[in-house]
Structure 1
Amino acid sequence: MSLVRLRGVTKTVRIPDAEPLTILDGVDLEIAEAEWVSVVGRSGSGKSTLLNILGLLDAPSAGEFDVDGVPVHRLSSSARDRKRGADIGFVFQQFNLLAGRTALENVVTPLLYASGSRFWRRRSIAAEMLERVGLGHRLGARPEVLSGGEQQRVAIARALVRAPRLILADEPTGALDVETGAAVIDLLESVAAKNGSALVVITHDPAVAARAGSRYRLDGGRLSAVAGTAAA
């Protein structure tokens, strides 16, 4: 069974005094456990909308969207929120770190919603994750004194601290230099592989996209597999 399955997914938005705008048009996509997927496309092609749907932040206007074989439209709002918190980790291009909070405090935040021993051990779990991303020596550093690459690593640690089954990364190298960007992708790959997580990266960088086992292009709201990959 696929972790995520989209069939004929369409997303339209209404615009005052104009025809509805179609952002996604009949998208078909299946993502398996531990699969590495990249999606490339120009600005305005619908990449971020697709990521928001996969992350249960937005809903399709039409089509089928299943998670673990369960149609998402059957889930209540609170059930979707729980699913997102437990199983999905987001890595944003702009990092979205909490200003004035240390690296450790930023990574602890998702664990405030954990239960049992993970809640009580949240600081040690967060510290271990920061150690895994090479920032064990920067636990007390605030975002304003961290480099761009270090901020991205904190963001990755925060996204992965709950060991999500699905990692969604939106242009994770877009604000970084080539060397730092490559290191970030190396890190995402290694942590996803170790945890058995599926990894979906939205990117405009062909070099990043080429590293994925399944590669797709989104153009005008239509998704197509790139020839010669597992997705084709």
Structure 2
Amino acid sequence: MSFLRLEQVTRSVELPDGSRLDILRGIDLEVAVGDHVSIVGRSGSGKSTLLNILGLIDTPTSGSLEFDGVPLEKLRMGARDRRRGRDIGFIFQQFNLLPRRTALENVSTPLLYASGRQFWRRERLATEMLERVGLGARIHSTPDQLSGGEQQRVAIARALVRGPRLILADEPTGALDVETGAQVMGLLDEVAESTGAALITITHDPNIALLARRHFRLDKGVLSPADDATAGLAEFVEVAG
């Protein structure tokens, strides 16, 4: 079942001289429940813009986007914000943890915007998620007391604590060494699969991209499938720089 669908999505901005810059050009993408998709692209290819559209932060200039069967244009801004907070988990390369807050407090933060049982059980839910990512003994540690891999695990726990249906991982291993990065991606894929969430990994690293089930390349705003291009992904990134 298709959970997220983009059809001929474009994103353009008007420059000060009156000309138009086309960032995304006719993007077609379908993501099913439980799917794991990777998108590889060099810097400036439109990855961040596409991420913002997938995460309901930005809107297309033209084309259509359906989120869980609902067209984006039928969602008012407040409803879009609620869906983003409830159904989408973001994982960033730089972690974006609150520096003076413990791991438990960082992971609990998204649940401050929840309601009902999730709100009142926020500390227990955060503790359980930290235990799930192997940090049960570090829940009272602040980010400066954690290694890079541990900080990324806190970021993963924070992204998953509300049980999102879509996980967007933006260069999730860019700040990690190869071994830790592979461990983090394995953990992320495992948790996403066990919860039935769709996972979209946006990266410049072909080795990380190939851990997904379906692979795409983004080049100059054009998205193309690369399912049979194991070597092609690596070559694409190397040439693109």
- TM-score band by shorter chain is over 0.9
How large is the RMSD of aligned CA atoms in angstroms?
A: 1.0
Kindly indicate which of the two structures has a greater share of residues assigned to helix.
2
Residue 18 of structure 1 and its aligned partner are, at CA, apart by 4.7
Q: Which residue of 2 aligns with 1:104?
A: 104
**Residue aligned with 1:100, SS:** coil
Instruction: Indicate the residue corresponding to 1:199 in structure 2.
Output: 199
Q: Which runs of 4+ in 1 moved over 3 A?
A: none
The match for 2:130 is: 130
Find the aligned partners of 1:88 and 1:205 in 2 and give their Cα distance: 23
| Counterpart residue number, 2:6 | 6
Superposition TM-score, scaled by structure 2 size = 0.93
- Aligned residue runs from structure 1 range 35-74, under 5 A: 35-74=35-74
1:2 Cα shift?
1.1
- The residue number in structure 2 matching 1:170 is 170
The answer as to 2:26 corresponding to 1:26 is: yes
Deviation at 1:119, TM superposition (A): 1.1
> For the residues of structure 2 that align with 1:69 and 1:135, how far apart are their CA atoms?
36
Point out where structure 1 has 5 or more consecutive residues left out of the alignment.
none
Q: Which residue of 1 aligns with 2:80?
A: 80
User: Does the 8 Å contact 2:110/2:158 carry over to 1?
Assistant: yes
Q: Distance in 2 between matches of 1:71 and 1:78?
A: 15
Q: Which amino acid aligns with 2:60?
A: P
Paired AA for residue 156 in structure 2: I
Aligned to 1:208: 208
Q: Gapped runs of 5+ residues in structure 2?
A: 230-241
Contact kept, 8 Å, 2:214 with 2:227, in 1: the verdict is: no
Aligned match of 2:184: 184
Q: Tell me the CA shift for residue 227 of structure 1.
A: 3.8
TM-score, with length taken from structure 1: 0.97
Q: Deviations over 1:160-213 (max 9, x none)?
A: 001100000000000100001001100110000110000000011111111111
Q: Alpha-carbon deviations, 1:36-62, whole Å to 9, x = none? A: 000001100011111110000111011
What is the total number of aligned residue pairs between the two structures? Answer: 229
Residue 15 (structure 1) shift: 1.2
**Counterpart for residue 90 of structure 2:** 90
2:137 and 2:227 mapped to 1: Cα distance?
44
SS of 2:17 mapped into structure 1: coil
Work out whether residues 173 and 184 of structure 2, in 8 Å CA contact, stay in contact via their aligned partners in 1: yes
Q: Letter of the aligned partner of 1:90 in structure 2?
A: F
In structure 1, the residue corresponding to 2:136 is in which secondary structure? coil
Which residue of the partner structure matches residue 220 of structure 2? Answer: 220
Once residues 173 and 21 of structure 2 are traced to their aligned partners in structure 1, the CA distance between those partners, rounded to angstroms, is 29
**Aligned equivalents of 2:211, 2:142: Cα separation in 1:** 32
Q: Percent identity?
A: 65
Whole-Å Cα distance in 2 between the matches of residues 125 and 227 of structure 1? 37
1:128 counterpart letter in structure 2: E
Secondary structure of the residue aligned to 2:118 is: helix
Structure 1 residue 159, shift from structure 2 partner: 0.1
1:145 match:
145
Q: Secondary structure at the match of 1:137?
A: helix
What is the CA–CA distance in structure 1 between the aligned matches of 2:118 and 2:200, rounded to whole Å? 26
Measure, in 2, the Cα distance between the counterparts of 1:69 and 1:193.
21
